[in-house]
Structure 1
């Protein structure tokens, strides 16, 4: 933001935002909810059996489980669970055997 410029708000109706196929894995779709100041937020849905390949976090990552179940580095996450990954940590085959929906915040 430059001098004299006001900070702005970005609003997204997640009910009308389109689902898009993930670039990382089959069976995973995302809704982009907004970006600001080097951070982004998405809704992420895994179909049963979907697996993300092992990947390193270039910045912090925050997930909040809304529905279903996922397994992150051996920890089972169900609705109401939150996961915080520090910069430099790695997800090893993050997966959902039953399917899930979560909110994701990450550095871009």
Structure 2
């Protein structure tokens, strides 16, 4: 096993065991959204450690816990009534290009791309203005690296060269009329 593979395995186990700082845990949770291999490794580690949860004994739940859970569910139900809410990992991810999946969102002009590390979007023209927000990971366009929260826009009629990701990414893309 290489040093990088060993470090990744240690990171996966630290994440599953709750041994990371809140910032480290948030980073890994975000990274697993755009890295299906990392997500699979975490799920496998969780499954392999699941039998150990029964070894700790039985603890009585705190008084009122069930009522707090019911109240939290009711509060969420009221807040989301009549709305649509889908977690990033949910929904219909479809194959798009090599190493890239697409998920259609609220209209035909709004999609998410989930790109595996090293994936490349070939050069293409834009019939409409394209807005891209990096949800997680990195996205390299024209030699500039965009990271989580960054925005890039290409106007209608603009052709740009290929774009890529080094470590994987999730992109929110919206197309708008010129």
TM-score by length of 1: 0.77
Structure showing greater relative contact order (alpha-carbon pairs closer than 8 Å, 6 or more residues apart) = 1
| Structure number having the greater helix percentage | 2
Q: Which runs of 5+ in 2 are unaligned?
A: 1-82
- Among 6, 12, 31, the residue aligned to 2:103: 31
d(CA) in 1 for partners of 2:100, 2:123: 15
Deviation at 1:12, TM superposition (A): 4.9
What is the 5 A alignment of 1:1-108? 12-15=84-87, 16-22=90-96, 25-35=97-107, 40-107=109-176
Root-mean-square deviation over aligned CA pairs:
1.8
Alignment coverage as a number of residue pairs: 93
1:8-38 Cα shifts (integer Å, max 9, x gaps): xxx654333210011xx20000110022xxx
Runs of 4+ aligned residues of structure 1 deviating over 6 Å after TM superposition are none
* Residues 1:12 and 1:106: Cα distance change in structure 2 (over 3 Å): farther
* Residues 1:88 and 1:68: Cα distance change in structure 2 (over 3 Å): same
Q: Is the 8 A contact 1:43 1:102 kept in 2?
A: yes
Q: Which runs of 5+ in 1 are unaligned?
A: 1-10
- Which protein is bigger by CA-based radius of gyration? 2
| Structure number having the greater strand percentage | 1
* Residues 1:12 and 1:43: Cα distance change in structure 2 (over 3 Å): farther
1:81-101 Cα shifts (integer Å, max 9, x gaps): 000110111231111111001
